Amino acid sequence: MARSYKRTGRRRSTMGGVNISSKRVLVTGGTGGVGLALADRLTSLGAVVVTCGRSAPPDHPHAVRADLAVPGEAARVVAEAVRRLGGLDVVVANAGVQYPTPLTLGPDPRTLALAREEIEVNLASVVELAAAAWPHLAAAAPDAAFVAVTSGLAFAPKRSAPVYCATKAAVHILLESLRHPARTASPGVRVQEIVLPLVDTAMTAGREGPAKKLTPSAAAAAVARGMAGGRPVVPVGATRALLALLRVAPAVGRRILRDG
């Protein structure tokens, strides 16, 4: 269920030394799972948050109904967030979908349709968000940020979701690439990647991994801490061990995730 998020003036926090209560934030995929918990978390820290999701009812003033699988929707959400908030300081690209896509079984139309949806939501919408939001973030500098949520599967893919893994790996490279112009043309806009482990959401129902699932609230708290710290890449929970393992024994790390 979508919620209304308003500036509160309650607990105070910092984000790169700046009080988060002064921030105007857009969180995509914010009407369920990690996104909903993150919107709650940032609101409790005093931010004013606009969210979007396919299930967002129109009677909630800070939740925009949008399907990010449709080209143009991400840019529309940015424009709507700017209209409601008077600008943007932070964008969190959190929306994501994951489906089993067995590409080795032939060109099944349903499988290919699901794969296209993963590409549109997980990658293309992030590209569109960055392009649409960047002028607003640059105007909010020096304390603005473009944040995207990825997965340990961006670094060590599993066999059952090749397209999902590819989209998350692509977002990782996209953010790396964005940091180059950000440093020169808009140095006041931080580009961050938050790397999540398996989180207990509707998307991961029935799936288990080598580590216990995080709750959405725990994941949201970790994302908020990562945003506050300002590091370019922030591994959360089990992904800290995974990324460390991939540096010293990449074959072992990939084997662990392969059947996850």
Pair of tokens at residue 130: 């960055």
DSSP codes of every residue in 11-63? S--EETTEEGGG-EEEEETTTSHHHHHHHHHHHHTT-EEEEEETT--TTSTTE
Q: Could you give the CA distance from residue 11 to residue 20 in angstroms, rounded to a whole number?
A: 10
Residue 189's DSSP bridge partners are 144
Q: Is 5 considered catalytic here?
A: no
Which residues touch 106 (CB under 8 Å, ≥6 apart)?
none
3-state DSSP assignment of residue 145: strand
Give Cα 70 distance to the centre of its chain.
Answer: 18
Which residues touch 10 (CB under 8 Å, ≥6 apart)?
44, 45, 46
CA contacts within 13 A on the Cβ side of 67: 4
Under DSSP, the state recorded for 87 is: S
Question: Residues 28, 93, 164, 223: which is the catalytic one?
Answer: 164
Q: Could you give the CA distance from residue 258 to residue 162 in angstroms, rounded to a whole number?
A: 10
Peptide bond into 187 cis (omega under 30): no
CA distances from 152 to 108, 226, 258 (A): 28, 16, 11
CA angle 117/121/126 to nearest 5° reads 150
Catalytic positions, please?
164
